[in-house]
Amino acid sequence: MSNKTNGGLFVVGMVIGGAIGTVAGILIAPRTGRETRTILGKSLEALPEMAEDITSSVQLQADRLSESARRNWDDTLVRLRESLAAGIEATQLGEESLDNQLKQSNRSNHL
C-alpha cells in the first residue's frame, strides 16, 4: 500500500479510536447519572457527523485505490502489447532466417 493509503487508514483509525475512547471515558468518569446522560446525548448527536466523515474518508480511499488499480492495469496492458509485438517481430525474423537457411541448404545440396 502507498503512504497515501496508509495515511487515510490512519485517520479513520484515529476517528474510530477517539470515539471509543470518548465513550469509555464518559462511562468510567466519576459523574452523576444526569451529567453522564447529557454528555452521552451530545456524543450521540455527533455520531452522524462522525459517520459521514468516516464514510467520506473510506470513499476517498476506495477512489484512490480504484484509480491506482486502473493505472496499473493500463500499464500492464501497454507492456503486454509491446511484448506481443516484439514476439511477433521475433517470430517473423526467425521464419525469414529459417527460410534463408533452407534455401542455402537446398542450393548447396544441388551443387
Q: What is the pLDDT of residue 110?
A: 65
- Whether the CB-CB separation of 12 and 52 falls below 8 Å is answered with no
Q: What is the pLDDT of residue 68?
A: 87
Residue 84 has pLDDT above 50, yes or no: yes
- Whether the CB-CB separation of 37 and 23 falls below 8 Å is answered with no
pTM attached to this predicted model: 0.42
> Which residues span the domain enclosing 7?
3-110
* 9 HSE (CA, 13 A, CB side): 9
Cell readout for 14 is 484515529
What mean pLDDT comes out for the span 22-49? 80
Cell readout for 74 is 493500463
Please give the share of the chain, as a percent, with pLDDT higher than 90. 14
Residue 14 has pLDDT above 50, yes or no: yes
Q: pLDDT-derived band of residue 4, with 50, 70 and 90 as boundaries?
A: low
Number of structural domains found in the chain: 1
